[in-house]
Amino acid sequence: MRISRLADQMSGSEIIRIGNAVSEQIRQGETICNLTIGDFDPKLFPIPAELRDGVIAAYQAGQTNYPPAAGIADMRQAAADFLKNRLGLSYSPNDEFLVAGGSRPLIYAAYLALVDPGDRVVFPVPSWNNNHYCHLSGAESVMVPTQPENDFMPTAAELAPQLKGATLLALCSPLNPTGTVFSKKDLEEICDLVLAENQRRGPDEKPLYILYDQIYWLLTFGETQHYDPVSLRPALRDYVVYIDGISKCFAATGVRVGYAFGPKVVLDKMKALLGHIGAWAPKAEQVATAKLLPQQTAVDNYLTGLKTGLQASLNAAYDGLKDLRAQGYPVDAIVPAGAIYLTAKIDALGRTTATGEVLATTKEITSYLLTEAGLAVVPFSAFGTAATDPWFRLSVGAESLASIQAALPRLKAALDKLT
């Protein structure tokens, strides 16, 4: 073999494959409502003006050399204050915070710092990218299917049989791909399982850690509240690594500032690993983010605007699907609670197209919707569920409300053509 086994066995992203098909159709002049990528159109959802101006000013001020390995002190302080003020989480900016070029390097570093090859990593499915991080770290992935009636969030009962001897439990709320969140009770019960498992382990055994990805936590809608493990169960503090950052909640996916916080012993090693990879956030972006986060009114106003826009789009898609359902179409949706995603059911499995093809998998439904309805969505099978689970992720950050509204009658017409 000319390349490593690790490289050879890496699986490509299904989302990117669908994205390429979408680009090709757009190139051919077709109108597509593209709800595939978990990103924002900057024309619809720009970053906060304070962040944009801060980045420009930082470059003009010559902030162009290496940042410190853990992130600049002001950035760590600002993130620590932000989390203390808004979530009541108390972590030291000096040695319990790590800044990186977005949250992905931090997730990868957490895996490498905690997981040995062959260790078991438990994660609920659908889930975003944990399969890839398991592959990169040589972990055995233990995927736990979740249920639509629980909004596709895992329950303690579902996870309990898998935690014995596991090294990492990877959780996310608000969840990509579903746009749903943990209830307080469900997360408390899961936290209690982890505490019990760690009490059972001997002093020389590696504990069970939680990787808690809360990258979407500021994007919750209406009365929905965000919960996190250490606030609910302070005794978990030594076992939880939090993943956070500005990518999603400030529509700043291209700005690349993420941060992790958690126990010093783990964060130190993550810092050392990322130091070798060099995945620091650009210094000017850190300077600007450190200036943005303390501006409470500006942040609150920005978030209100962002959430209003996202929710209008999510509600339009939700209402449209519920309306079609009321008319007898085989579709459904789960109330959007957070993030930028809607969970939609489009159960055209077993139906036959006008050209005589039977839609046997959600991938085939996806292709059909793209060509017949000009509607691009991602099946949950891209996030680890079965190819015949008729659920899809609709991501609304990169399309206008008008485009989403216009796609709904096209969906109806495409479903009408099936027999």
Binding footprint of ligand PLP on the chain (CB under 6 A): 38, 102-104, 128, 172, 176, 213, 215, 245, 247, 253, 258
Considering the complex, state which of residue 51 and residue 215 has its C-beta at the smaller distance from ligand PLP. Answer: 215
CB of 177 to ligand PLP, least distance (A): 8
CB of 205 to ligand PLP, least distance (A): 29
CB of 252 to ligand PLP, least distance (A): 9
Considering the complex, state which of residue 299 and residue 340 has its C-beta at the smaller distance from ligand PLP. Answer: 340
Considering the complex, state which of residue 103 and residue 167 has its C-beta at the smaller distance from ligand PLP. Answer: 103
CB of 284 to ligand PLP, least distance (A): 17
CB of 215 to ligand PLP, least distance (A): 4
Considering the complex, state which of residue 172 and residue 287 has its C-beta at the smaller distance from ligand PLP. Answer: 172
Considering the complex, state which of residue 212 and residue 318 has its C-beta at the smaller distance from ligand PLP. Answer: 212
CB of 102 to ligand PLP, least distance (A): 3
Q: How far is residue 132's CA from residue 128's CA, in Å, rounded to a whole number? A: 9
Considering the complex, state which of residue 19 and residue 330 has its C-beta at the smaller distance from ligand PLP. Answer: 19
CB of 296 to ligand PLP, least distance (A): 23
Residue nearest to ligand PLP (CB): 102
Considering the complex, state which of residue 112 and residue 215 has its C-beta at the smaller distance from ligand PLP. Answer: 215
Residues 397 and 312 sit within 8 Å (Cβ to Cβ): no
